[in-house]
């Protein structure tokens, strides 16, 4: 269906071959050289801390046998995803802060576009699967070990990655075949759907409709599933007679809900609500929150509010110190 619709649009374009743009210019956050250096230093620190924080969670999940459970296996995969998600944009942003041209190649722009949205879609699916895991653990504790087996967990993880990366390649490839023969300046720090469509010489409302419909479906279906799961979880938690049991349930679920709120709240501002009335600078800040700050804050949220993860991180640190001392 998508290929048929685009073929009707692209047929006259292929005859003329008028695409002349070979690179795009990402304006990013404009300012003086001193401001660029400050932003570069700040972003570099955040990026390094993001890699270290998420890497520490992955190491804790791998090395500590006590947390080899579906919940922490999903968390380890989620941290691995966050490393790739933030790496799809930040290295190029860092290079642009020090660059005079701030250019990105045509193919590099669309590769970034593909990986950014594929990883973002995978993150939505992972958050839904993590909500499913908490629902089973709290609402169906007796059946949880039989349902959430290692094989079932691995299947869910594989499906998240496959669905995330197979959802956009055809659509983004066809968008890249549109003619870009005018300005090549993108007033953003990454290659996004709105500025790319604005630079196309031929309007493609069908492409935008398909793209936003697909993105909205992923967002709405996953977030509705997450909130439905947590409504059932909260109902089950309030029926727990033990105050300690309720506290532990709120602690593990609260961390996940904080991440969900931070990620979905900012993403829906950009890709569900109309962005025509939002200033470009505000769009950049909102995108920066869910693409950079969310992966940075996730390790803090999960480690500070989870006793098992804190113990696992301490174990990893102690083992590293012993190996260095010996």
Domain-wise residue ranges, the chain? 30-315
Contact 210, 189 (CB under 8 A): no
Average pLDDT, integer, range 87-101:
94
Indicate if the alpha-carbon torsion angle 318, 320, 322, 325 is positive or negative: negative
> Helices H, strands E: what count in the chain?
14, 3
**pLDDT per position as a tens digit, 205-236:** 888 888 888 888 999 999 999 999 988 888 88
Indicate if the alpha-carbon torsion angle 93, 95, 97, 103 is positive or negative: negative
Q: What pLDDT sits at residue 76?
A: 93
Question: Which stretches within 17-67 are classed as H helix?
Answer: 33-63
Q: Which of 172, 181, 30, 44 is nearest to 109 (CA)?
A: 172
- The pLDDT of residue 189 is above 60: yes
How far are the Cα atoms of 238, 254, 255 from residue 246, in angstroms, in the given order? 7, 11, 14
Average pLDDT, integer, range 50-65:
91
How far are the Cα atoms of 30, 69, 211, 253 from residue 248, in angstroms, in the given order? 46, 16, 40, 9
Q: Phi/psi of residue 166, each to 5°?
A: -100, 0
Q: Say whether domain 30-315 belongs to CATH 1.20.1070.10.
A: yes
Alpha-carbon distance of 275 to 279, in angstroms, equals 8
Q: Which range, 60-64, 218-222, 235-239, 297-301, is most confident?
A: 218-222
How far are the Cα atoms of 20, 102, 108, 191, 276 from residue 187, in angstroms, in the given order? 20, 11, 17, 9, 14
Average pLDDT, integer, range 301-316:
77
Alpha-carbon distance of 311 to 314, in angstroms, equals 5
Contact 310, 67 (CB under 8 A): no
Alpha-carbon distance of 180 to 9, in angstroms, equals 14
Element (H, E) at 230: helix 205-237
Contact 72, 51 (CB under 8 A): no
- The pLDDT of residue 253 is above 60: yes
Average pLDDT, integer, range 95-108:
93
Tell me the percentage of the chain whose pLDDT exceeds 90: 46
Sheet holding 103-105, edge to edge: 103-105, 23-26, 185-186
Average pLDDT, integer, range 183-202:
89
How far are the Cα atoms of 36, 105, 112, 173, 241 from residue 97, in angstroms, in the given order? 5, 16, 17, 28, 55
């Amino acid at each position: 269906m998508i290929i048929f619709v685009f073929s009707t649009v692209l047929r006259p374009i292929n005859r003329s071959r008028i695409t002349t743009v070979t690179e795009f210019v990402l304006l990013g956050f404009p300012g003086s050289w001193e401001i660029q250096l400050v932003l570069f230093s700040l972003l570099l620190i955040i990026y390094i801390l993001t890699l270290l924080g998420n890497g520490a969670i992955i190491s804790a999940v791998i090395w500590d046998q006590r947390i080899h459970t579906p919940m922490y296996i999903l968390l380890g995969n989620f941290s691995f995803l966050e490393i790739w998600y933030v790496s799809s944009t930040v290295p190029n942003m860092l290079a642009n802060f020090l660059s005079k041209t701030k250019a990105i190649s045509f193919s590099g722009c669309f590769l970034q576009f593909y990986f950014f949205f594929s990883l973002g879609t995978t993150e939505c699916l992972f958050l839904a699967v993590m909500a499913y895991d908490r629902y089973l653990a709290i609402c169906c504790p007796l059946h949880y070990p039989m349902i959430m087996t290692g094989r079932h967990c691995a299947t869910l993880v594989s499906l998240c990655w496959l669905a995330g990366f197979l959802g956009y390649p055809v659509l983004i490839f066809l968008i890249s075949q549109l003619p870009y023969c005018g300005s090549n300046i993108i007033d953003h720090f990454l290659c996004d759907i709105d500025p790319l469509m604005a630079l196309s010489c031929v309007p493609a409302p069908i492409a935008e409709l398909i793209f936003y419909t697909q993105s909205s479906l992923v967002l709405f279906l996953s977030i509705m599933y997450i909130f439905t799961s947590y409504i059932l979880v909260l109902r089950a938690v309030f029926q727990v007679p033990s105050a300690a049991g309720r506290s532990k349930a709120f602690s593990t679920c609260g961390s996940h809900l904080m991440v969900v709120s931070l990620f979905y709240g900012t993403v829906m501002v950009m890709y569900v609500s109309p962005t025509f009335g939002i200033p470009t600078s505000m769009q950049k800040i909102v995108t920066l929150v869910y693409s950079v700050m969310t992966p940075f804050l996730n390790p803090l949220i999960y480690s500070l509010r989870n006793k098992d993860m804190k113990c696992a991180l301490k174990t990893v640190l102690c083992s590293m110190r012993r190996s260095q001392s010996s």
